[in-house]
Amino acid sequence: MKSVMGDFGASYIRFSYALPFAALWLWLWMQSTEQSMPQTTQMFWLWVSIGGLMQVIFTVLLITLFNHRNFAAGTAFSKTEVLQAAIFEALIIGEIVNFQVGLAIAIGVLAILMLSFHKSDIGLSGLFSSLRSKQSLLGLAAGAFLGLSTVSFRAATDSLATGDIVLRASMSAATSTLLQTFFMGGIMFLMARRELVLSFTNWRSAWPVGLFGAITTACWFTAFSLENVASVRAVGQVELLITLGFSILFFKEKTSRVELLAIALLALSIILVLIN
What is the pLDDT at residue 74?
A: 65
What is the pLDDT at residue 139?
A: 82
Neighbour count for residue 203 (Cβ, 10 Å): 12
**Which spans in the chain are helix H?**
2-16, 19-33, 42-65, 72-78, 81-92, 99-119, 126-129, 134-159, 165-191, 193-201, 203-226, 229-235, 238-249, 257-274
What is the pLDDT at residue 165?
A: 92
**29 contacts 78 by C-beta, under 8 angstroms:** no
What is the pLDDT at residue 194?
A: 95
What is the pLDDT at residue 201?
A: 95
What is the pLDDT at residue 77?
A: 72
Instruction: Summarize the confidence of residues 18-34 as an average pLDDT.
Output: 95
Distance from C-alpha of 122 to C-alpha of 211, rounded to nearest angstrom: 35
Range with the poorest average pLDDT among 14-18, 19-23, 261-265: 261-265
Instruction: Summarize the confidence of residues 176-195 as an average pLDDT.
Output: 93
Q: Give exposure, 78-109, as e/b (b: 16+ Cβ within 10 Å).
A: bbbbbbbbbebbeebeeeebeeebbebbebbb
Whether residue 176 has pLDDT greater than 90: yes
Instruction: Summarize the confidence of residues 63-69 as an average pLDDT.
Output: 70
236, amino acid identity: G
Predicted confidence (pLDDT) per residue in 222-242, tens digit: 999 898 898 998 898 888 788
Predicted confidence (pLDDT) per residue in 73-132, tens digit: 666 677 788 888 888 999 888 888 899 999 999 998 888 877 776 655 555 555 555 556
Query: Higher pLDDT residue, 89 or 243?
Result: 89
How confident is residue 271, by pLDDT bands cut at 50, 70 and 90? Answer: very high
What is the pLDDT at residue 155?
A: 94
Across the chain, what does the average pLDDT equal?
86
Distance from C-alpha of 166 to C-alpha of 218, rounded to nearest angstrom: 9
Q: Whole-model pTM?
A: 0.82
